[in-house]
């Protein structure tokens, strides 16, 4: 047990076989790509799936010893879909909720993954399942109805006497925290060095974990198209892509890293000039004040994932802007955030010309339009911040419990 402030953490070790089969294997090589509609990258193995179930049972055995009868249990993300079923098998009757942070795909897509019917069945062991958007909720409900024969009620689904509620709870961020650190960030060393380095150039920023779902090589190529189509902009803009390495033990991520480096080298080599590098690329992680400061410096953010549950970077960028001179968010229609951030320039990341034109439009946008678009986004973000999200989910879960008890 580890105490940190008001939170007590119970930690346990995994073996290297667990890590390989459960985390790098089924969770990140089979479930992650399938849920992001990349079925061609999904690599299913029975050994990995057995490891995934085994580790969930191990977590359940440890957790069952710690849970009190009145506790609400809130499970997070795709690594733990079978956890409620494993806890129920140990006799737990508590209200158990699940939040799915990544997209829930259409049943036709999820159905390509062996074991997916079992996963759907274990979803029914949660009292409440939260997803990011109404589209995800619709996909999950359709899957439960079509694959299992669940009976739809108002917001619940019934199967064999069990009832599960599926609902969207779009995750928020710490909006006021971002606003405050962004306003003070110019004094930070990295931010002030960036200001000096930019001179009169305009900054376009991208911040994404190095993951194929984030569309990093694709956005570099869209930016290349923008520079080719608008030669007068060469030397006047800099694209800073921050992409911390992730899941480096999974082979597809090594391949992505090589693809990004190749695209970056080709674009900087062919379009760069002495004194100007078109794309700056860094893989470091930064503390929040640095990220917030860099967001605020950038008149344009390029957030163009091929598919994303929500995308917090889009929300962080909006929260970090100067209200009197806000930047423009270019956002993929395939990010859950696009359902809420309607003041962004919404693009299809597969259409490089469309993204290139959005970069051009964002850089030319009038002050009046920038302010109007930003004002339309910041209010709803403040009203639906991360505290709202957690409270809304837990209130609903407690209600489910009351209903089950009554
Ligand atoms: P992620 O796929 O990790 O999250 P995202 O929502 O963008 O994607 O969150 C990334 C977080 O990491 C942001 O808070 C960002 O600030 C931070 N970050 C990125 N680069 C960083 C860097 N170099 N240094 C420090 N911090 C950095 C998953 C789902 C998303 C969903 C979230 C939350 O894939 O769709 O929005 O969970 O539910």
State the pLDDT at residue 405: 57
Ligand 1 centre from 314 Cα, in Å?
10
Ligand 1 centre from 208 Cα, in Å?
7
Choose which residue among 209, 280, 282, 318 to substitute to test ligand 1 binding: the one with the highest number of ligand atoms within 8 A of its C-beta: 209
Q: Where are the beta strands (DSSP E) in 10-81?
A: 73-76
Q: Does an H or E element contain 365, and which? A: none
43 is catalytic: no
Is 316 a pocket residue for ligand 1 (Cβ < 6 Å)? yes
Q: Is 82 helix (H, G, I), strand (E, B) or coil?
A: coil
Is 360 a pocket residue for ligand 1 (Cβ < 6 Å)? no
Instruction: Give me the torsion for CA of 145, 151, 155, 161, rounded to 10°.
Output: -120
Is 244 a pocket residue for ligand 1 (Cβ < 6 Å)? yes
Summarised one tens digit per residue, pLDDT across range 292-313 is: 999 999 999 999 999 999 999 9
Ligand 1 centre from 121 Cα, in Å?
29
Q: Cα(55)–Cα(215) distance, rounded to whole angstroms?
A: 31
| 279, 264 Cβ separation under 8 angstroms | yes
Whether the predicted pLDDT of 326 surpasses 90? yes
18 is catalytic: no
Q: Where are the beta strands (DSSP E) in 214-361?
A: 237-242, 279-282, 300-303, 328-332, 345-347
- Closest CA relative to residue 160, chosen from 148, 147, 174, 170: 148
State the pLDDT at residue 64: 97
- Listing DSSP states for 93-160 in one string gives -S-EEEE--S----HHHHTTSTTHHHHHHHHTTSSEEEESSHHHHHHHHHHIIIII-PEE-SSEEEET
State the pLDDT at residue 49: 98
- Closest CA relative to residue 44, chosen from 118, 116, 140: 116
| 34, 42 Cβ separation under 8 angstroms | yes
Q: Indicate which residue's Cα is closest to atom 28 of ligand 1.
A: 101
Is 310 a pocket residue for ligand 1 (Cβ < 6 Å)? yes
pLDDT > 70 fraction of the chain, expressed in percent and rounded:
99
Summarised one tens digit per residue, pLDDT across range 10-56 is: 999 999 999 999 999 999 999 999 999 999 999 999 999 999 999 99
Is 308 a pocket residue for ligand 1 (Cβ < 6 Å)? yes
The model's confidence at residue 331, banded by pLDDT at 50, 70 and 90, is very high
Q: Indicate which residue's Cα is closest to atom 33 of ligand 1.
A: 101
Instruction: Give me the torsion for CA of 69, 70, 71, 73, rounded to 10°.
Output: 80
Choose which residue among 102, 174, 207 to substitute to test ligand 1 binding: the one with the highest number of ligand atoms within 8 A of its C-beta: 207
pTM of the full predicted structure?
0.96
């Amino acid at each position: 047990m580890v105490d940190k402030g008001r939170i007590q953490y119970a930690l346990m070790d995994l073996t290297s076989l667990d890590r390989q089969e459960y985390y790098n294997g089924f969770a990140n090589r089979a479930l992650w790509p399938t849920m992001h509609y990349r079925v061609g990258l999904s690599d299913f193995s029975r050994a990995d799936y057995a490891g995934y179930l085994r580790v969930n049972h191990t977590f359940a055995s440890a957790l069952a010893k710690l849970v009190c009868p009145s506790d609400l249990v809130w499970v997070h993300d795709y690594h733990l879909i079978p956890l409620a079923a494993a806890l129920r098998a140990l006799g737990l009757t508590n209200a158990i909720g699940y939040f799915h942070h990544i997209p829930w795909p259409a049943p036709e897509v999820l159905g390509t993954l062996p074991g997916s019917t079992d996963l759907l069945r274990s979803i029914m062991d949660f009292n409440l399942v939260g997803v990011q958007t109404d589209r995800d909720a619709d996909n999950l409900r359709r899957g439960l109805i079509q694959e299992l024969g669940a009976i739809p009620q108002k917001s619940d689904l019934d199967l064999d006497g069990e009832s599960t509620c599926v609902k969207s709870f779009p995750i928020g961020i710490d909006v006021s925290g971002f606003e405050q650190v962004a306003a003070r960030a110019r004094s930070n060393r990295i931010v002030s060095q960036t200001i000096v380095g930019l001179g009169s150039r305009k900054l376009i920023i991208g911040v994404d974990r190095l993951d194929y779902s984030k569309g990093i090589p694709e956005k570099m190529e869209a930016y290349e198209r923008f520079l080719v189509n608008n030669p007068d902009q060469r030397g006047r803009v800099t694209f800073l892509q921050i992409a911390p390495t992730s899941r480096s033990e999974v082979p597809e991520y090594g391949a992505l890293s090589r693809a990004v480096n190749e695209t970056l080298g080709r674009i900087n080599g062919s379009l760069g000039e002495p004194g100007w590098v078109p794309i700056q690329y860094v893989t470091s992680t930064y503390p929040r004040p640095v990220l917030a400061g860099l967001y605020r410096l950038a008149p344009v953010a390029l957030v163009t994932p091929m598919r994303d549950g929500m995308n917090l970077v889009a929300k962080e960028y909006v929260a970090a802007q100067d209200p009197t001179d806000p930047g423009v968010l270019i956002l993929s229609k395939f990010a859950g955030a696009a359902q809420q951030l309607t003041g962004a320039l919404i693009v299809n990341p597969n259409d490089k010309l469309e993204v290139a034109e959005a970069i051009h439009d964002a850089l030319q946008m009038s002050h009046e339009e920038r302010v109007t678009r930003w004002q339309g986004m910041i209010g709803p973000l403040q009203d639906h911040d991360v505290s709202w999200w957690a409270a809304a989910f837990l209130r609903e879960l407690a209600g489910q419990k009351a209903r089950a008890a009554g």
